[in-house]
Amino acid sequence: MKIIKTFSDFISEDAIRAGEDSKVIIDDLKLDSGPDIKSAEILGAITAALTDEEFKQYFYETYGEAAFAEGEMDILVGYYLDKSAEEAEAEKEAEKEEEDGEGEGDDPLAGM
């Protein structure tokens, strides 16, 4: 019998999705300087921040600028940008559906 692992089998137990329908998966980040940043904290910062600069500033104030090795902040910002892109895509789709729905109501005889 061959055992096949799914994608969710490969992600850690502490990883969380950035929303119910989100494809963005946020994992804990272990900094080279020692502390762990939990995925829930990362998601909270993503939700609270209006810009990526504000997002970065939160982590610099919390852990200090020297706590991040090269590339570690890039991982965090990547999560932020992925979630922002996903939200923008969802807004675009919602606007398109709304526009499609408006066009149908203009001509009551269009379906005949």
Quote the pTM value.
Answer: 0.72
Mean pLDDT (the chain, rounded): 81
Q: What is the dihedral of CA 22, 16, 81, 21, to 10 degrees?
A: 10
- SS3 of residue 97 by DSSP: helix
Q: Which amino acid is at 66?
A: A
Query: What per-residue confidence (pLDDT) applies to 21?
Result: 77
10-58 per-position pLDDT tens digit:
444 567 676 777 788 889 999 988 889 999 999 999 999 999 999 999 9
d(CA 37, CA 39): 7
Mean pLDDT lowest among 17-21, 53-57, 87-91, 108-112? 108-112
Is 24 in contact with 17 (CB distance < 8 Å)?
Answer: yes
Q: Which stretches of 5-108 are assigned E, i.e. beta strand?
A: 16-17, 25-26, 29-30, 36-37
